[in-house]
Amino acid sequence: MIPSPLVDVDWLAAHAARDDVRIVDCRWSLSGPPAAEAYARGHLPGAAFVDLDLELAAPRGQGPGRHPIPRAEDFARVLARLGVRAETRVVGYDDVGGAIAARLWWLLRHFGHGGGRVLDGGLQAWTASGRPLDTEAPTIAPAAPLALTAGHAPVVDKRQVDLLRRDPTARVVDARARERYEGRSEPVDARPGHIPGALAAPFVENLVAPGGRFAPLDALRARYAALGLLDARAVVCSCGSGVTACHDLLALALLGRDDAALYEGSWSDWAADASLPAATGIEPG
């Protein structure tokens, strides 16, 4: 089992000044003001900012979907800018319960760096504890780029998903909000609905409340057992573009299921291919 991907506010406050800890602000929004503006207004002391679109994803067209996985050498340059070394514990946070920070955690796993962590409860937990925010960006000495290799956390493409969704020993889950899964709303991708056979597993239901901390392990275990994910031969997590699916992957890792795969392009990839079917409504289809 991998080390716990979560740290709490007390741990981070006690370790934030260490040379082998790097705090990273991962805030992002599908619509609205740029997250860099929110970072400038206030962030955890010592935190650096990363841009999901520019640094935690490759440019569109270099892979499937809206947020393709970056190349190893490009991600290594991001980590170098952040001063991340092989021994660094990289603690990501956001303001949506870890939904974006989990993408950083997963990328670190995928590229063979085991130091990724997510601040449980994120920005809200930090401020609720009475701890201050800062408006100054830290001065970080760049590190030498790490020699990263992809594949340490599994990834699947649409053809593999098309096979696995029909396999009774496998499970495909969808981390998007239920209104998007059901096809009642689709703000960004080519068509509404979900992958036929995929089960709804909204990432927000991993939390005690929207934007809050992760639910207790017993509650998570009951949730994922009911979906059949703890005993399935293979598990694939998807979402809109391969970002919030990482939150479900993180929850599964907390339960010891760290072999689940990410569907890289997720619905943005599947919906764009007219040859692939779509389902709507509350049932998997």
Angle at 240 between CA 244 and CA 105, to 5 degrees: 25
pLDDT per residue as tens, the chain (285 positions): 567 999 999 999 999 999 999 999 999 988 878 899 999 999 999 999 999 999 999 999 999 999 999 999 999 999 999 999 999 999 999 999 999 999 999 999 999 999 999 999 999 999 999 999 999 999 999 999 999 999 999 999 999 999 999 999 999 999 999 999 999 999 999 999 999 999 999 999 999 999 999 999 999 999 999 999 999 999 999 999 999 999 999 999 999 999 999 999 999 999 999 999 999 999 998
Residues with catalytic roles: 239
In sequence order, what are the residues at sequence separation of 6 or more whose Cβ sits closer than 8 angstroms to the Cβ of residue 221? 230, 255
pTM exceeds 0.75? yes
Tell me the pLDDT tens digit for each residue of 244-254: 999 999 999 99
Residues 6+ apart with CB under 8 A from 159: none
Residue with tokens 């939150």: 247
Q: Top-level CATH class of 155-270? A: alpha beta
Query: In angstroms, rounded to a whole number, what is the distance separating the alpha carbons of residues 40 and 36?
Result: 6
What mean pLDDT value characterizes the chain?
97
E-strand ranges in 68-225 read 89-93, 116-119, 155-156, 170-174, 199-200
Query: What pLDDT does 2 receive?
Result: 60
Measured distance CA(65)–CA(229) in Å, rounded:
25
**pLDDT tens per residue, range 73-111:** 999 999 999 999 999 999 999 999 999 999 999 999 999
User: In the chain, which residues fall in CATH 3.40.250.10?
Assistant: 6-128, 155-270
Residues in the chain: 285
CATH of 6-128, one of 3.40.640.10, 3.40.250.10, 2.60.40.10, 3.40.50.300: 3.40.250.10
In order of 56, 113, 179, 273, the CA distances from 59 in angstroms are: 10, 22, 28, 19
